Amino acid sequence: MKDTFLSARLVEKDLIRLSVFSATPYQKFEVKLIVDDVEEVKLTSTKFVSTPNSMMFDYRLDKPLPLGHSYAIALVGWAIIPLDMSEVPTFPSFNEAFYYDGDDLGATYSKEETSFALWAPVASEVTLKFRKRTSTRWHYHPMERSAKGVYRLTIKGDMEYAEYLYIVTNSGVSRVATDPYAKASSPNGESSVVLDMSRFNGIPSNEEGLSRLNSYIDAIIYEGNVRDLTIDPHTNIENKGTFKALYQEGCLTKGGHPAGFDYIKSLGITHLQLLPIADFKTVNELHPEEKYNWGYDPQQYMVPEGSYASDVLDPECRIRECKEMISSYHKAGIKIVMDVVFNHVYDYVNSSFEKIVPNYYFRKRATSALSNCSGCGNDLATEKQMVRKLILDACKWWIDMYRVDGFRFDLMGLVDVETLNLIRDYARSVKPDFMLYGEGWNMDQETRVPLGKMENAKLLKDFAFFNDSFREYNKKYLTHDFYHNGGYKYALMGSSMTYSQIHAKWDDAVQSINYIECHDNATFFDYITKELGDTPTLENKLGLCSLGLVSILISNGVPFIHAGQEIGLSKFGKDNTYNLGDSFNQFPYDLVDERFDMVERFKGMVNARKTSRLFLTSASKDFASYVEFDDLERSVVMTIKNPITYPQFKAVQLIVNPTFHLVTKRYDEPVTLLIGTAGDVSKANFQMETVMVNHCSCIMVGIK
């Protein structure tokens, strides 16, 4: 047989295709279908195609081949080979026939018994493998197939803390998989764990004191990473790099300034967006110091990341500390946005998805090759019903169990619109002001269903999008590429009004996430260094960094700040530091001590943003009636008529000066200084006819 290769595949519900590749002359043979290693059914070819070294035989069956059985093809006198069932999930009727809408997938615990349910419709056999907490012995129990291809088993007795796995047999191949619906895990996702989730009910959500978000533009989002925000040795934070560290109170820098939880509280932000906190693959949870990763390599969607637990060997520790972290921020008046990665997994071949239902969970090109628009080797087929259900169930779990307040969708342009809107519907039914936003890049050209890209903003009215135009126009104008003066003004309007021949991205600035840097871009400080070289002094570079924050906070839309931006964070010229370690990524608390004046200015501008609601509306149709732009030397002047938060003035005027020299503007009548470099100064009632705007700064005045 070394010169002969055989393949048998179910290519339609009732059609088997046998392929023979051989260097030897054709010999007639008898073919039989073997069912469950017992029944034999003789097959008669209905089609035969031959080439010099290959033959293809089609065998049409009397009726569709039912799933849940093992099948093999016997070439009598030659060989017996498994029947490949991997095409079954692509059959047109598959989703309708096997969609399961129940809420009992995974392990359902009670002290008396635990029920296990796994959706594996193509599998011929599933075995539950488990061991109790006090035992090293594994037990093996076959599961029973039920409707919609769900395999079930109930184990009597108290199974809490038991580790379990599924042995799933597809097309004659058995693979060991964790539970896609697992809520708890052993270290590194080696096995799923049964837990009584009611034991966490005593942790308060502390949501009663949270302010209602009336509009996204009332949010101020601060993006950070659990590890990065707490790992710096320049503080007395304990359990560094963990959930617990991120809500430890009373921590200080070596210079005596607030650190960690107290520092974040002091900023005045409304939302803390955390880089992925669901379980990811490439950090060894037993030794997280060995390897660094941001976590955009998902492994388990419903389990918190173990490297962020103070005791990863205790499966309930990561759950408890994650809930306590969110609870603590709620108590401080800060909402938590969770960065979710539903566009790919770390390793599709060894993912539980591919092991359990081969050829189902991942998107394919027209050539049948895996779609790789994510750049990670695979794209999740979110439009398929059971993939959509898994994603929606994961979102429900994080909302109901952990009480998160928003989702930031990584590469949202690869997630289909229907799935996103179903997430919206559920999230808003629980929390009416739940935030939903993501990266709406247009990355997929083959998927036929509408995806969550910016071009589909009208289909996603309750979603905001990272505004790359805002980012680029701000960076260019503020680093003295004054050709982009018009683009900067367009950005100040949240890209929701056509201006300077640049077309609006959306109808309402509420859909614009206004940012200059985030975790996967070069920091603005490094961009300034790259563009302007050694020309500006350090003082001027830091001044431009602060002015970038001011631009975000005075703009129409949703302000988004990357942790460290307020102190001129540098990543030493690197723009994608996802695996480069703490030295590139940690929040530098020594700079908080050195540049605390920048922190104070940032806090002042955050407060000014909250108190100075400048825009009458976020809808573009009204801008032209009350917003005007002008130029003053190289500075931009924005005039807003009839400001709602300053009714005593007929207009307010902002002057943004990114140059390295003083800019002066004279008025016919005295104007009142409302916002200066320190933030809101309106109570001081400073009046002047000549306004001087320092280099790299912005002021706002009231005009009567």
For residue 369, give Cα distances in angstroms to 346, 379, 420: 17, 11, 25
Residue 2 confidence (pLDDT): 63
Hey, which residues does 142 pair with through a beta bridge?
127
Residue 622 confidence (pLDDT): 66
pLDDT at 433 over 70: yes
Cβ contacts of 689 within 8 Å, gap of 6 or more? 666, 667, 668, 669, 670, 671
**Model confidence band, residue 53 (pLDDT cutoffs 50, 70, 90):** confident
Burial of 177 (0-12, 13-18, 19+ CB in 10 A): buried
For residue 341, give Cα distances in angstroms to 279, 331, 338, 409, 515: 11, 27, 10, 6, 20
Rounded (5°) CA angle 137-307-331: 120
pLDDT at 618 over 60: no
pLDDT in tens, 178-201: 999 999 999 999 999 999 999 999
How far is the C-alpha of 34 from the C-alpha of 83, rounded, in Å? 9
DSSP string for residues in 336-392: EEEEE--S--S-TTTSHHHHHSTTTSB-B-TTSSBP-TTSSS--B-TTSHHHHHHHH
Strand ranges for 424-480 from DSSP E:
435-438, 464-466
Residue 615 confidence (pLDDT): 66
Closest C-alpha to 83, from 64, 69, 97: 69
Tokens of 140: 């093996």
Closest C-alpha to 557, from 518, 511, 515: 511
Helix (H, G, I), strand (E, B) or coil at 167: strand
How far is the C-alpha of 543 from the C-alpha of 656, rounded, in Å? 12
Q: Tell me if 302 sits within 8 A of 183, measured CB to CB.
A: yes
pLDDT at 625 over 70: yes
> What is the sign of the dihedral through the CA atoms of 573, 575, 579 and 582?
positive
Tokens of 618: 């976020």
How far is the C-alpha of 237 from the C-alpha of 543, rounded, in Å? 30
Rounded (5°) CA angle 326-328-331: 110
* Residue 439 falls in the annotated catalytic set: yes
What does the CA dihedral 242, 247, 251, 254 come to, rounded to 10 degrees?
A: 40
Closest C-alpha to 293, from 281, 306, 278: 281
Domains of the chain plus CATH, in order, are 4-84 (2.60.40.2320), 94-177 (2.60.40.10), 213-338+517-548+563-611 (3.20.20.80), 620-703 (2.60.40.1180)
Strand ranges for 468-564 from DSSP E:
512-514, 558-562
Residue 642 confidence (pLDDT): 82
pLDDT in tens, 472-499: 999 999 999 999 999 999 999 999 988 8
How far is the C-alpha of 511 from the C-alpha of 143, rounded, in Å? 48
pLDDT at 683 over 90: no
Q: Tell me if 557 sits within 8 A of 514, measured CB to CB.
A: yes
pLDDT at 278 over 70: yes
Q: Phi and psi for 483 in degrees, rounded to 5?
A: -60, -25
Neighbours of 492 (CB within 10 A): 26
Q: Which of 331-335, 387-391, 525-529, 618-622 has the lowest average pLDDT?
A: 618-622
Helix runs in 589-685, H state only: 589-594, 596-611, 623-626
Query: Which residue in 285, 439, 444, 680 is the catalytic one?
Result: 439
* Residue 324 falls in the annotated catalytic set: no
Query: Which residue in 232, 279, 405, 410 is the catalytic one?
Result: 410
For residue 379, give Cα distances in angstroms to 46, 348, 363, 507: 37, 9, 5, 30
Write out 38-83 in H/E/C secondary structure: CEEEEECCCEEEEECCEEEEEEECCCCCCCCCCEEEEECCCEEEEC
Q: Would you give the distance in Å from CA 529 to the centre of its chain?
A: 30
Burial of 202 (0-12, 13-18, 19+ CB in 10 A): exposed
pLDDT at 447 over 60: yes
pLDDT at 617 over 80: no
Taken as a whole, the chain contains a residue count of: 704
Neighbours of 47 (CB within 10 A): 11
How far is the C-alpha of 384 from the C-alpha of 578, rounded, in Å? 30
**Model confidence band, residue 665 (pLDDT cutoffs 50, 70, 90):** very high
pLDDT at 418 over 70: yes
How far is the C-alpha of 13 from the C-alpha of 557, rounded, in Å? 52
The whole-number average pLDDT for the span 537-558 is: 96
Q: Tell me if 297 sits within 8 A of 346, measured CB to CB.
A: yes
How far is the C-alpha of 396 from the C-alpha of 388, rounded, in Å? 12
Residue 26 DSSP class: P
**Model confidence band, residue 26 (pLDDT cutoffs 50, 70, 90):** low
Tokens of 501: 């021949």
Residue 1 confidence (pLDDT): 53
pLDDT in tens, 224-270: 999 999 999 999 999 999 999 999 999 999 999 999 999 999 999 99
For residue 126, give Cα distances in angstroms to 87, 156, 235, 300: 19, 19, 51, 20
Q: Tell me if 21 sits within 8 A of 50, measured CB to CB.
A: no
Residue 547 confidence (pLDDT): 96
Residue of higher predicted confidence among 188 and 445: 188
pLDDT > 90 in the chain, percent: 85
Residue 619 confidence (pLDDT): 59
DSSP string for residues in 667-692: EEEEEEEEEETTEE-GGG--EEEEEE
pLDDT in tens, 626-641: 889 999 999 999 999 8
Closest C-alpha to 68, from 149, 147, 14: 149
pLDDT in tens, 151-183: 999 999 999 999 999 999 999 999 999 999 999
pLDDT in tens, 127-150: 999 999 888 999 999 999 999 999
Residue 462 confidence (pLDDT): 97
How far is the C-alpha of 506 from the C-alpha of 619, rounded, in Å? 9
Average pLDDT, whole number, for the chain?
94
The bridge status of strand 651-657 relative to strand 687-693 is unpaired
Cβ contacts of 333 within 8 Å, gap of 6 or more? 209, 210, 211, 270
Cβ contacts of 2 within 8 Å, gap of 6 or more? none
Q: Tell me if 48 sits within 8 A of 87, measured CB to CB.
A: no
